[in-house]
A and B are shown apart, each in its own frame.
Chain A
Amino acid sequence: MNDHRKASEMLAQFAAGLLPETESAWVKVHLRGCSLCRSELSAWNVLAAGVRETREESPASPRLADRALRTIRIAGKKPPAILRAAQLLWAQVPVVRREIWAASALVMVIGFAVALTGKRAAVLMELAPMVAAAGIAMLIGPQNDPAEDLVRSASVPQRQILLARLALVFGYNLFLAGTASLGLFPILPAEVWGGLILGWLGPMAFLSSLALLFSLWIGTSGAVALVYTLWLSHWALPGMDTLFGWSGRFPAAGNALAAYAQFWNSPVILLAVSGVLFAGVIWMAGRAEPSSHHALL
C-alpha cells in the first residue's frame, strides 16, 4: 500500500480524533505534501462537525438512574414463579367472559342429570367436548376481551396471557367433566370408568384446540359452528352411511369413514394432535409481539 492510499484510509479516524499519536503525526506530515488528502480531510471535517452539531447534547435527567434503581429493587422483590403464575391466572378471571363459567356449569349439570337418570354415561362423552370447545372459542379476540388494548401494552407477554387463559378455561372444563364422571360412579362398573374419562378427554382437547385456532381466523361464532359440525359429523356420518349405503357402493368411502371413526376413538392420537395445535396457536400469539434488534439496521 502506498503512502497516499494508507493516509487516505486513515483520514476518517484522523478527523474523528481516533488515531494514536504516532499515526496522527504521520498523517499530518503526509497532508503537508498531498493536496488530494487535504481536500478529502476537509470533507471529513465538515462531516464530523455536522454530526457533532446535530447531536448537540441535552442534559440527561439524573432521575433516570434512580428510576432504574427503583425498577431493579421492585424486580428483586419479585415473588416466586409459582406465585406469579397464580397471580397471572387470577388476573385473567375477570377478563374472561363471565358467562363462560355459569353456562358451562349449567350445561354440564343438565348433561349429568340426563346421564344419571337415563343411565347413559355416553351423554357426558358427547357433551363435555362441546362445552369446553365453546368456552375456548371465547378466549381471545376483540369481541371477547374488553381489556385487549391493555393486554397488548402490558409487560406480560401475550403468549403467557393466552396460556393462562387457556389453562383457566380448559382446567375449569376438565374439573366439571371430571366431577360429573365421578358422580356417575354409582351407575357405572369400575372397569369402564377409565374408558369414560378417555372417551371425553381426547375429543375435548382436540375440539378445544381447533376452536382456539379457528377463533383466531373466523371469530368465536364461526369457530363454534365449525367444531360443532365436525363433532356432530363423527356420529352423523355412520348413520348416513347406513341410510344411503355409501360403503357398499364406494369401498374407498367406506375405508375413509372407518378411518375417520377410528380417529375419533383414539384418545392418544387426539391428545397428541391437540397438543401440537395448542403449541402452534400459542407460538403464533407470541409472533405477533415485536422482539429484538439488529435486523432493522
Chain B
Amino acid sequence: MPPEIDDLRVIAAIARREEEALRELHHRYGRRMLAHAFGILGDRFMAEDAVQESLIAVWEGAPSFQNRGRVIAWLLEIVHHKSIDLLRRQRNHLPLDDDWEQPAVIGGPEENARTMEYRRIVRRSLGELSLAHRMTLDLVFYQGLTLGEAAGVLGCPVGTVKSRLHQAKDHLRKSLARAGWNAEDLR
C-alpha cells in the first residue's frame, strides 16, 4: 500500500478485511503502540501480547470506526485498555524497567559526570511517579496526543490530565532542587 494513503484509508481497508492494511497500520504505529504497552506493563513480552490483542481489536472495530478523531489516539486507547487488562490478569504492576530506560542518547564523549547525575535524577523522579502520571506524560510528551485525546485514552477529564502534568513537573522540580539543581541548569 503506498505510504501516501492516509490513516483513515488504512482503517477503511482493514474494515474491508484487507490483511495487508493491518500490516501497514502496524508498520506505521507498531513502535508507539508497543512503547505505550511497555510503559504500563514493564515487560517486553507482555507488551507484545497487548499489541497483538490490540491489532485483533482494531480488526474487529475498524468497521465501526467513523471519524472518531485521530487514528493514533484510537489505537493508543485500545492498547491502553488491553494493557490494563493484561496487568490485572498478572496482578503485579511493575515500575519502569531499567532495561527499558536506555542509557543517555543525547550524550557524547564530552558528557561529564555532572550531566549524567542530572539525568539520573530526572529519570529517578519520573520513575517515582504513579503509573497514571507516567502514562499521562507518555501520551502527551512521547505520543504527541492533545490533552483531550490523552483524556480520552485514559478515560478521565482533561482537567485531570492537566493536573497530572503539573504534579509531575512540580515533582521533578522538587527532585532537582533537593539535589541542588534547577531546571535551567542544562538549558
- The answer to whether A and B come from one shared complex is yes
Interface residues of B in 14-72 (CB under 8 A from A): 19, 22-23, 25-27, 30-35, 38-39, 44, 48, 51-53, 55-56, 59
Taking CB atoms, residues of chain B closer than 8 Å to A48 are 141
Q: Which B residue's beta carbon lies closest to that of A52?
A: B142
Q: Which of B23, B141, B173 makes the CB contact (< 8 A) with A15?
A: B141
* B contacts with A: majority SS: helix
Quick check: B48 and A68 within 8 Å, CB to CB?
A: no
Taking CB atoms, residues of chain B closer than 8 Å to A71 are 52, 56
Taking CB atoms, residues of chain B closer than 8 Å to A45 are 183, 187
The reply on A114 being an interface residue by CB < 8 A is no
The reply on A21 being an interface residue by CB < 8 A is no
Taking CB atoms, residues of chain B closer than 8 Å to A191 are none
A60-72 contact mask (Cβ, 8 Å, vs B): 1 or 0: 1110111111011
Quick check: A46 and B140 within 8 Å, CB to CB?
A: no
Q: Which of B35, B93, B140, B184 makes the CB contact (< 8 A) with A18?
A: B140
The reply on B165 being an interface residue by CB < 8 A is yes
Interface residues on A, range: 35 or more
Taking CB atoms, residues of chain B closer than 8 Å to A51 are 126, 137-138, 141-142
The reply on A12 being an interface residue by CB < 8 A is yes
Quick check: B56 and A72 within 8 Å, CB to CB?
A: yes
User: What total of chain B residues lie within 8 Å of the partner, measured CB to CB?
Assistant: 71
The reply on B168 being an interface residue by CB < 8 A is yes
Quick check: B154 and A297 within 8 Å, CB to CB?
A: yes
Q: Which of A53, A59, A64, A294 makes the CB contact (< 8 A) with B51?
A: A64
Q: Which of A47, A54, A61 makes the CB contact (< 8 A) with B100?
A: A54
Given contacts A50-B122, A54-B123, A60-B34, contact A65 B88 (CB under 8 A): no
Given contacts A43-B173, A65-B22, A297-B154, contact A54 B101 (CB under 8 A): yes
Given contacts A69-B19, A292-B85, contact A60 B172 (CB under 8 A): no
**Closest CB in chain A relative to B156 CB, distance in Å:** 7
Interface residues of B in 78-123 (CB under 8 A from A): 80-81, 84-85, 87-89, 91, 93, 96, 100-102, 104-106, 119, 122-123
Q: Which of B19, B35, B96, B155 makes the CB contact (< 8 A) with A57?
A: B35
The reply on A77 being an interface residue by CB < 8 A is no
**Closest CB in chain A relative to B25 CB, distance in Å:** 8
Taking CB atoms, residues of chain A closer than 8 Å to B132 are 297
The reply on A39 being an interface residue by CB < 8 A is yes
Taking CB atoms, residues of chain A closer than 8 Å to B154 are 297
Given contacts A54-B100, A293-B85, contact A43 B183 (CB under 8 A): yes
Q: Which of B25, B80, B93 makes the CB contact (< 8 A) with A293?
A: B80
The reply on A44 being an interface residue by CB < 8 A is yes
Q: Which of B51, B125, B144, B168 makes the CB contact (< 8 A) with A60?
A: B51
The reply on B135 being an interface residue by CB < 8 A is yes
The reply on A16 being an interface residue by CB < 8 A is yes
Taking CB atoms, residues of chain A closer than 8 Å to B102 are 53-54, 56
Quick check: B123 and A58 within 8 Å, CB to CB?
A: no
Given contacts A71-B56, A297-B155, contact A60 B142 (CB under 8 A): no
Given contacts A12-B140, A46-B183, A50-B122, contact A68 B147 (CB under 8 A): no
The reply on B131 being an interface residue by CB < 8 A is yes
**Closest CB in chain A relative to B34 CB, distance in Å:** 5
**Closest CB in chain B relative to A35 CB, distance in Å:** 10
Quick check: B104 and A53 within 8 Å, CB to CB?
A: yes
- Measured in the bound complex, the distance between the Cα atoms of B104 and A43 in whole Å is 19
- Measured in the bound complex, the distance between the Cα atoms of B85 and A132 in whole Å is 38
Q: List 8 A-B contacts (CB under 8 A).
A: A12-B162, A53-B104, A60-B33, A62-B27, A67-B52, A71-B52, A297-B135, A297-B154
* Chain A residues close to B by CB (< 8 Å): 9, 12-13, 15-18, 39, 42-62, 64-69, 71-72, 75, 290-294, 296-297
- List the 7 closest A-B pairs by CB distance, nearest first: A60-B30, A293-B84, A68-B55, A65-B26, A56-B102, A43-B183, A50-B122
